[in-house]
Every structure is written in structure tokens, then in C-alpha cells.
Amino acid sequence: MPSNKIPVESLVLKVAQQLRDMLVEGLIEPGAKLNERELAEACDVSRTPLREAIRMLAAEGLVALLPNRGAIAVQLSEIDTAHTFEVIAGLEALSGELAAQRITDTEITEIKALNLEMHAAFLRQDLPVYYRLNAQIHAAINLAARNPVLRQTYQQVNARLQALRFRSNQDTEKWREALLEHDAMVGALERRDGPALSRILTTHLNTKRDVVLGQIRSTPVKASDTLQEPECHE
């Protein structure tokens, strides 16, 4: 297999990212069991790197390792989701406040370019590409804050919400509103207006929270023990 030529550590990281993408895009549903045979075939790897990747996701809180059941995709309850959004909103607000003080002109240019690409993805209604660009923008703002403790905490908490944040854009009107909020973020960064960016990010995350909680309340809880024809994304 081509993947055998990749160093083991790099292969595990690659598979872990593929599994994250599956979880985010709903190819592995919340509450579903991770079928090692199907996933190994889909990702074109043996079970050894796959299991290492699953353990990485378990450490990130994306997967639960249950006795006699194997790995299960974590399904946040309504209250867990609300609490996690409270935390991520505070972390993003602080990131914005600090980033506005510390960001470079080059970093602003890069974020503006990502935002333009995101507009193009919206026009194509390409949600997976849009979401990856979206996540890159939020991560870039967090990185521009230049606070390693904040960055580590943000990454850990944000990982739990990726799938929910992805699905929150499936309503076209809400998606359009989120796009306009990103334009406002870029404007605040260009002005280096920390308080404004902090407020925009807080509002943005609170809106996401309300959409996600509404989706949770309107969707019956369903746990599946099987994984239907997963596909890996390069």
C-alpha cells in the first residue's frame, strides 16, 4: 500500500486527521461505534496505526473507549454542549482581544485571503471546504494572540465542538449570517480594535450555540453501532 511508505508517526497523524474530518462531516455519527475493519479499509492502513489514531482522538475527547464496546464517537448532551460553548466563547473573545494587539500585517493579509476563499466556497455551497477555511480563520486569530496556554486550551475545547459547528451552517440563512460576521471580524482586525473583535466573536459563538442547541432539541437521540460506508478525505 502507498501508506506503508509514510513514517509510522506521520501515518498515525494523517489517519487521526482523516477520522476527525469524518466525525466533523457526520460520516461517523455521534454515538456510533468505530468499526476498525471498515475504517482501516477506507483509510488504506492496517489496524495498528488506526488504533493509535483512535487513541489520539480519545485523548482529545472526541472518542470514548468503552469496555467490551470499543471506540464510540462522543455525543455531547444538550447541557454539555451549552457549557462547552460558554467556555469556547470566552476563549475566542480573549483570543480576539489579544490578537488585535499582537497580530502582524502579514497575518491579517493571510486571514483576509482565507475569508475571500470562504466567500467563494459559500457561493459554491461547498460546506466542507467552507468549514475548513472557517476553522483556519478562527485558529489564525487564536494563534495571533501569541499565548501558548490560551492556544492549547482553545484547541482542546474547540475539538469537542467541531462536528456541531459544522452542522450549524446547514441552514443557508444562518450560514449567510455567519459569513457576514466573519467580514466584521476581518474589519475589526484591520482596525486592531480588540474590544470590537471580542464582542463580534462572542456574538458569533453565542449564535452558533443557539443554532446547535435548537438542532439538538429537534433531533431525536440515536446511537448506532455500525458505520455506514465511510470514506477518507485526502
Residues 119 and 194 in one domain: yes
Question: What is residue 5's predicted lDDT score, i.e. its pLDDT?
Answer: 62
Does residue 172 carry a pLDDT above 90?
no
Say yes or no: 97 and 160 in one domain. yes
> Considering the domain boundaries, does residue 11 fall inside one?
yes
- pLDDT tens per residue across span 184-232: 999 999 999 999 999 999 999 999 999 999 988 987 655 443 334 344 4
- In degrees to the nearest 10, what's the CA dihedral of 42, 48, 226, 157? -100
Who wins on pLDDT, 183 or 217?
183
- Residue where the block lists cell 471580524: 185
Reply yes or no on whether the pLDDT at 139 is more than 70: yes
How many domains in the chain? 2
pLDDT value, residue 3: 46
Same domain, 82 and 69: no
Domain that holds residue 83: 78-218
**pLDDT > 70 fraction of the chain, expressed in percent and rounded:** 91
Q: Which residues lie closer than 8 Å to 65 by C-beta, 6 or more apart?
A: 54, 55, 58, 71
Domain boundary, last residue among 43, 73, 103? 73
Q: What is the CATH number of the domain that holds 209?
A: 1.20.120.530
Q: Grid coordinates standing for 9? A: 508517526
- The three-state secondary structure class of 69 is coil
Instruction: Mean pLDDT check: name the lowest of 29-33, 79-83, 90-94, 97-101.
Output: 29-33
Q: How far is CA 223 from CA 75, 180, 212, in A?
A: 9, 35, 18
Are both 212 and 98 inside the same structural domain? Answer: yes
Confidence (pLDDT) at 68: 83
| 227 falls within a domain | no
Tell if the pTM clears 0.85, that is, is over it: no
Residue 146 lies in a domain: yes
Read off the pLDDT of each residue in 166-186 and give the average, rounded to a whole number: 89
The reply to whether 66 and 96 lie within a common domain is: no
Residue 83 sits in the same domain as residue 192: yes
Residues 26 and 118 in one domain: no
On whether both 161 and 63 belong to a single domain, the answer is: no
Does 230 map to a domain? no
Nearest one of 41, 42, 28 to 70, comparing CA atoms: 28
Mean pLDDT, the chain, whole residue set: 89
87 with 68, same domain: the answer is: no
24-28, 71-75, 85-89: which range is least confident on average? 24-28
Whether residues 50 and 95 share a domain: the answer is no
Is 228 part of any domain? no
Contact 157, 87 (CB under 8 A): yes
Q: What is the CATH number of the domain that holds 56?
A: 1.10.10.10
Give the pLDDT score at 220.
64
Q: Summarize pLDDT for 114-134 with one digit per residue, the tens.
A: 999 999 999 999 999 999 999
φ and ψ of 62, to 5 deg: -90, -25
From residue 150, alpha-carbon distances to 7, 9, 87, 194 in Å are: 31, 26, 12, 16
